[in-house]
Copies of this chain bind each other. A is one copy, B any other.
Amino acid sequence: MMYVTQGLKRAANTNGNAIATIYLDRTKTWKDLRNRVAKMASSLQALGLKKNDKVAILSLNNDRYLELFFSVPWAGQVVVPMNTRLALPEMEYIIEHSDAQVLCVDDQFKDAAIALQKHIPMLQHLVWIGEGLCPEGFHDMEDLIRKHDPIPDEEHGGGDVYGLFYTGGTTGKAKGVMLTHDNIVSNAMVVIPPVDYNRHTRYLHAAPMFHAADCGSTFAVTIMGGSHTFMPKFHPVHLLEQIEEQKVTATMLVPTMLNMVANVPHLSQYKLSNLKELIYGASPMPVPLIEKLIKLFPRQRFTQCLGMTEMAPVITCLFPDRHVLEGEYAGKLGSVGQETLTSEVRIVNSEGKDQPVGEVGELWVRGPMMMKGYWKNPEETERTLEGGWLHTGDCGYFDEDNFIFLVDRKKDMIISGGENVFSLEVENVLFQHPDIQECAVIGVPDEEWGERVHAVVVPKAKKELSADELIDYCRGKIAGYKVPRSVTFRDTALPLSGAGKVLKTELRKEYQETSVVGV
């Protein structure tokens, strides 16, 4: 049996006096953490929670968040880490749908918590994990820990559900992905070798901790007895400062964040000699950006983990030794890599048959990290896991070396004049333009073509760009039918999901009516 709290106990046994967490002025060892977790677990039981009851967490990144990741299963319950970008009705939906009886929040979500409790009779307890004074009507986490004696681990594990990870909440009805203890630990075990997590690792949680992309490292770092530091709100300059000050060795960033880091002025001023591992994933990485990053960070190793919450989350991995600009192992920077150590990937056509090399199809994956299913949603579970493979909704192809190249989300693919256009390919071309800060390519309704390739572009500060100029720029670089037929410029950042993915559904809504037709 594999179970998540075993990793915490291993850290306490093998590296007990070493630092486990650093946040603000607080530093805790792994022995401290084990002790606090065993006490917090006791308090959860004292609140009346039984085996498999749900404990929701709605908070920016901090050390107590990590402690809850272990306290909840230690007490035999299930975590529900919540997306911090949601609107109140979306939060309400998740708490009700998950049957959460406890909600843990930090300062940021005090008012939301109070409002939610008013509406949801089942939500009995609010737990305060913030920095300010504990508000009335909340249990203070520090108080709970102080008042309770440690209890033995309930050893919730194996095929038991560790957590409900809601996904898609910003684009429709959120689905609660049931990840078991076996799923979570299996994922950790495939992440450790490429990223070389070890007991000297200091990992910075810069991406949101509720999200599977960050979680994928949370348990890997813990098993190895490494240490955790936390950044509640991402800012590229603060990130660099924190890496320097706290001697961070590894962090996981989404491409959007890495793009911001790459654009920080005077990047070479920061002392990043401790930083060894940069992990990225959660959304497609433009080739020009990763090429630029490799040059900007010559001493760091890059690992790409293509993930999906339903796979806990790593689907494919591009190992560090493929992140090179020259030599025998070069040429794979546009790829999301290959299957993880214990999983399998297929690319299949609409009949579910394997596609030959170079032919686009849907990615199907399976492995010990594949979710148990969607909570209270057997139909969607059945559809997504049909035949024992997770149907990812990502489209891509294998090259002759069995590397996977993604072309688009199935639902983001543009069909223009009968031709398939993959937005990623067009974005990769636009992204090479020196004056473009951000861009996204979507399909918008078009009378003549059915759908039309449309680009939404954020120019760099003080740069003037025209639609004609960009359309010209694309010509010759890609086939004519792929070249954007219209462009909109905006001076605000593109809308992002909690995980930093560009929300194309929002863009489609926004631009399908108003887009300016170019040439």
Residues of A within 8 A of B (CB): 1-2, 6, 9-10, 13-14, 16, 185-186, 189-190, 192-193, 196-198, 223-224, 338-339, 341-344, 366-368, 402
Q: CB distance B2 to A338 under 8 Å?
A: no
Determine the chain B residues whose CB is within 8 A of the CB of A192 once the complex forms: 192-193, 341
A344 with B6, Cβ < 8 A, contacts A1-B368, A402-B13 known: yes
Name the residue on B nearest A14 (C-beta). B338
Q: CB distance B193 to A6 under 8 Å?
A: no
Q: Indicate the member of A338, A341, A344 with the most B CB atoms within 10 Å.
A: A341
Q: CB distance A402 to B14 under 8 Å?
A: yes
Name the residue on B nearest A200 (C-beta). B321
Copies in the assembly, this chain: 2
A398 to chain B, nearest CB (A): 9
Determine the chain B residues whose CB is within 8 A of the CB of A339 once the complex forms: 10, 13-14
Determine the chain B residues whose CB is within 8 A of the CB of A341 once the complex forms: 10, 189, 192, 223-224
Report how far A343 CA is from B402 CA in the complex, Å: 34
Determine the chain B residues whose CB is within 8 A of the CB of A2 once the complex forms: 186, 342, 367-368
Determine the chain B residues whose CB is within 8 A of the CB of A6 once the complex forms: 342-344
Determine the chain B residues whose CB is within 8 A of the CB of A223 once the complex forms: 341-342
Name the residue on B nearest A339 (C-beta). B10
Determine the chain B residues whose CB is within 8 A of the CB of A193 once the complex forms: 192-193, 196-198, 224
A313 to chain B, nearest CB (A): 18
Q: CB distance A402 to B16 under 8 Å?
A: yes
Report how far A344 CA is from B193 CA in the complex, Å: 21
Report how far A13 CA is from B6 CA in the complex, Å: 33
Report how far A190 CA is from B224 CA in the complex, Å: 11
Determine the chain B residues whose CB is within 8 A of the CB of A186 once the complex forms: 2
Q: Nearest 6 CB-CB pairs, A to B?
A: A189-B189, A13-B402, A14-B338, A2-B368, A192-B193, A223-B341
A401 to chain B, nearest CB (A): 8
Determine the chain B residues whose CB is within 8 A of the CB of A14 once the complex forms: 338-339, 402
A-B contact pairs, 9 of them (CB 8 A): A1-B366, A2-B186, A6-B343, A13-B339, A13-B402, A192-B192, A193-B196, A193-B197, A193-B224
Report how far A338 CA is from B13 CA in the complex, Å: 8
Report how far A344 CA is from B343 CA in the complex, Å: 25
Q: A1-B367, A9-B344, A14-B339 are in contact. List 9 more A-B contacts (CB 8 A).
A: A6-B342, A10-B344, A13-B339, A13-B402, A189-B190, A192-B193, A193-B193, A193-B197, A193-B198
Determine the chain B residues whose CB is within 8 A of the CB of A197 once the complex forms: 193
Report how far A13 CA is from B337 CA in the complex, Å: 11
Report how far A192 CA is from B402 CA in the complex, Å: 23
Determine the chain B residues whose CB is within 8 A of the CB of A10 once the complex forms: 339, 341, 344
Report how far A1 CA is from B367 CA in the complex, Å: 6
A39 to chain B, nearest CB (A): 20
Name the residue on B nearest A10 (C-beta). B339
Name the residue on B nearest A341 (C-beta). B223
Report how far A394 CA is from B198 CA in the complex, Å: 28
Report how far A2 CA is from B339 CA in the complex, Å: 13
Determine the chain B residues whose CB is within 8 A of the CB of A190 once the complex forms: 189
